[in-house]
Amino acid sequence: RLLVDAVGCWRLTKKFLKPLREAGIKVSPFSPVEFPLINSRLNFRNHRKIVVVDGLIGFVGGVNIADKYLHKSSYYGYWRDTHLRITGGAVHSLQAIFATDWHFCTGENLLLSEFFPAQIEQEVNPVQIVSSGPDSNWESIMQGFFAMIALALKNINIVTPYLILNESILTAIKIASLSGVDIKIIVPQKPDHLLVHWGSRSYYQELIQAGVKIYEYQKGFIHSKIMTIDGVISSIGTANMDIRSFTQNFEVNAFVYSYEVAAELDAVFTQDLSNSKQISWEDFNKRPVSSRILESTARLFSPLL
Q: What is the model's pLDDT at position 124?
A: 84
Q: Where are the beta strands (DSSP E) in 33-181?
A: 50-53, 57-61, 79-80, 83-87, 127-132, 155-159, 163-164
pLDDT at 202: 93
User: Of the residues 92, 174, 197, 225, which is catalytic?
Assistant: 225
Quick one: how far is CA 296 from the chain centroid? 24
* Helices within 167-280 (DSSP H only): 167-178, 194-201, 204-209, 243-247, 259-274
Catalytic residue, candidates 81, 184, 223, 242? 223
Q: Please state the φ and ψ torsions of residue 118, each to the nearest 5 degrees.
A: -60, 140
110-138 burial, b at 16+ Cβ within 10 Å, e below that, comes to beeeebbeeeeeeeeeebebbbbbeeeee
Active-site residue among 49, 92, 174, 197? 49
Determine the pLDDT at residue 41: 60
Contact 257, 141 (CB under 8 A): no
- Closest to 172 measured CA to CA, from 141, 196, 207: 207
Active site residue 49: yes
- Tell me the pTM: 0.92
Of 182, 192, 230, 266, the catalytic one is 230
Q: Is 286 a catalytic residue?
A: no
CA gap 112, 1 in Å, rounded:
15
Going by C-alpha positions, the residue among 31, 105, 86 that lies closest to residue 252 is 86
Q: Which of 14, 15, 54, 67 is catalytic?
A: 54
The question of whether 92 is a catalytic residue gets the answer no
68 a catalytic residue? no
Residue type, 40: S
pLDDT at 255: 98
pLDDT of residue 138: 92
Per-residue pLDDT of the chain (305 residues; tens, 9 = 90+): 999 998 888 788 889 899 999 999 999 999 877 654 555 566 788 999 999 999 999 999 999 988 888 877 778 888 999 999 999 999 999 999 999 999 999 999 999 999 999 987 777 899 999 999 998 889 999 999 999 999 999 999 999 999 999 999 999 999 999 999 999 999 999 888 888 899 999 999 999 999 999 999 999 999 999 999 999 999 999 999 999 999 999 999 999 999 999 999 999 999 999 999 999 999 899 889 999 999 999 888 777 66
